Amino acid sequence: MSSVEETAVAVEALISAGAGLASEPVQDDRVGAAGEAGLTWLVEAVESGRHREAGPIGFYFAKLWYYERLYPLVFTVSALGRAVRRRCRDPDC
C-alpha cells in the first residue's frame, strides 16, 4: 500500500522534472501520467485526512521500524506547494 510520505516525495520529484502538470509538455507520456496520478492520489489523501497518518519509513538500529508524525504533513505541503507554484505562475493566481 502506498504511503503519503512516499507518494508526496515521488510527486514532488516528478513535478520538478516537469511531469504531472497539464499545462507543461512532457517528453514521456508515462511520466506525465504518473505525475498526474500521484498528484490526484495525494489530493484525495488530504481530502480524506490520510495525510495525518504517519507510515513506517524505515529501519533504525536493531531492526526497529520508526515513524515520524510530521513527515506526511511536511512532504505533502511541499509537494502540493510545488504543484501550485508550477501550475500558477501568474502572481494573481
pLDDT digits (tens, 9 = 90+) for 77-90: 999 998 888 877 76
Residue 62 DSSP symbol: G
Q: What's the pLDDT at 23?
A: 52
**Mean local confidence (pLDDT), 11-15:** 89
Q: What is the dihedral of CA 32, 13, 85, 7, to 10 degrees?
A: 80
Q: What's the pLDDT at 47?
A: 96
pLDDT digits (tens, 9 = 90+) for 31-46: 778 888 999 999 999 9
Q: What is the dihedral of CA 78, 84, 85, 88, to 10 degrees?
A: 180
Higher local confidence (pLDDT), 87 or 52? 52
d(CA 69, CA 72): 7
Residue 73 binned pLDDT confidence (cut-offs 50, 70, 90): very high
